[in-house]
A and B are shown apart, each in its own frame.
Chain A
């Protein structure tokens, strides 16, 4: 269907022979925000890694179609060029590679993929300035090595800054709230909200309801033991906050 941005069907995947995802089904349409919640070890980060092409994970069966493209057949860089963005739970420090060189390489690689000419130095710097403002990222960070010596909050803001620059169709925010104080959370969530349009979509992976106060989901899924076991509206997140995951676990384990 043309209004499906991502359709995941019966996705099975694991790491080092151990199956973690045991049949994920998920459909996301443009303009939607989906929250994926679940207890520790349920497979939330595996799902985001598998969709982004993390080589640690092996897909054993199933499909993921991203605006008509077979996502799982693409390299991680081509998934990015096609419009997928993963905000890392633990952004990686890359000593010696400056943010500005990193972003220029990323932007120009995407433009090359789309048969567009590379941005001039001026155009690029102008865009960096504009996008930085979205997450109030300090100009000084541009000349520093990627994530090296950044505080927890700066790392997460830097993720959203990269998201703003790459303008993805689908963003996956993996535990973006972890390690953030309340002010940083507000800035990060504010950045995500500013980037929302009717054409793009977001998957928010989180343990806590807290982030969902700032990024309002349309749909909330509960992932447990590698499957989406429950899907509901925003009220489901509140219910989880109140009652915990035990009632879900009981329901699933007893069936």
Chain B
């Protein structure tokens, strides 16, 4: 057995040991089964992506022996009392995921008509088949790509969240899912959010990842499964505010039908090792897709974003804008692939990845790629990696602005277009503040990392 088969096989063995004893809703049980089958097929043939930063690859992230709460032992986490989010006054519908268990808050008790936010264990009858079809399609597809993350999540999942907007329902308020990691021992937490917008519906989803476990290594395996029906609009914002002990395998899998709009923006502000994958299939015509990400990394933090965006329909438009600022010995990676399938005429796709190397030992690897199997398309990609403009630094210093502040201002301005692209105004303003706060602390020395490495403690007590 290859070493990779062993890494992933340990989770298959674990699940076999408790087979028949996991108390799961039928939908989740079906997903577990599909996950087991898919993982069985992937584990033997898995080959690590040579472009990805090694620490963020599934074989690295899943190698440690984490505990998984398959038997649903009730862990003592008083989620509501333990958390205050960094995006206040958002007036959102809030759900909390403590490690791997969903806890609805009272704001979910009075949802507008046509909006459903519920546990995957309690999906309304008329949506069960739809949800399972979407998820099984994603898991089956992952066998082709060879990425075991979706299958592992499906295998281990005990709880998850459905966010569903019925046809024509446009929800102005955001649905905010706050993930909190707070394990007492090293733990793997599978999490899944399914976002479905039916024809002409509109949804905004904010995902916040936090950790209160600065001394215990923990891995969250998060899958965001998106289905954007005809004419719908979905915005997804993901903010990572973890600890140096946080490990994250995050996957977004989305399918877009005719004239749908999907916008995804991620921000890594704090954490440990974060491997993020985006897989978007624009199957319909006239789709619009925007993917963006910013990462501010220091003190050994590692972030890798890997994008596969497949245009299959006519007149699809997509924009990708990923930026990172790397301090100290941080590592960043970007792999971006745009695939224009045969027949996807008049595709207009652009991809940009720009990186600032601020630390002497920081490293970035970037691999933008285009695969075009169709004429009559417009595609572009560009990647730059460099240090801060020393002319701009000297100009600012010559006006009396201290070097450290000049660096912060320049880095903030470097990131500003990613933040400005957030169309959700309250969040955009808040993100500017969060980025500024993070940068004010990013220059702190590594010696004080665990306590003073940046953002103010957003996860303080109530």
Residues of B within 8 A of A145 (CB): 413
B386 an interface residue at 8 Å Cβ cutoff? no
Q: Which of chain B's residues 386-415 have a Cβ closer than 8 Å to chain A?
A: 389-392, 394-403, 405, 409-410, 412-414
B401 near A105 with CB under 8 A, answer: yes
A76-B405 contact, Cβ under 8 Å, with A94-B410, A94-B413, A97-B410:
no
Cβ contact of A166, chosen from B390, B394, B399, B414, cutoff 8 A: B399
CB nearest to A94 among chain B residues: B392
B401 near A96 with CB under 8 A, answer: no
Cβ contact of B394, chosen from A55, A102, A107, A109, cutoff 8 A: A55
B417 near A96 with CB under 8 A, answer: yes
A92 an interface residue at 8 Å Cβ cutoff? yes
A77 near B391 with CB under 8 A, answer: no
A109 near B391 with CB under 8 A, answer: no
State in angstroms the CA–CA spacing of A76 and B390 once bound together: 13
B392 near A110 with CB under 8 A, answer: no
B405 near A105 with CB under 8 A, answer: yes
Residues of B within 8 A of A88 (CB): 395, 398
Chain B interface: which size bin? 20 to 34
B308 an interface residue at 8 Å Cβ cutoff? no
Inter-chain residue pair count (beta carbon < 8 A): 78
Q: How many residues of A contact B (CB 8 A)?
A: 32
User: Which one of B394, B400, B414 has the greatest number of beta carbons of chain A within 10 Å?
Assistant: B400
Residues of B within 8 A of A97 (CB): 409-410, 413
State in angstroms the CA–CA spacing of A145 and B417 once bound together: 13
In the complex, per-residue mask of A69-103: 1 if CB is within 8 Å of any chain B CB, else 0: 00000011101110001101001111111000110
A92-B391 contact, Cβ under 8 Å, with A97-B409, A97-B413:
yes
B397 near A75 with CB under 8 A, answer: yes
State in angstroms the CA–CA spacing of A91 and B398 once bound together: 11
A106 near B395 with CB under 8 A, answer: no
Closest 5 CB pairs of A and B: A96-B413, A80-B400, A76-B397, A92-B395, A106-B399
List 15 additional A-B contacts (Cβ < 8 Å) besides A80-B398, A96-B410: A53-B397, A76-B398, A77-B402, A79-B398, A80-B400, A91-B395, A92-B394, A94-B389, A96-B413, A96-B414, A102-B409, A105-B405, A106-B396, A109-B401, A113-B400
Q: Interface of A with B (CB < 8 Å)?
A: 52-55, 75-77, 79-81, 85-86, 88, 91-97, 101-102, 105-107, 109-110, 113, 145-146, 162, 166
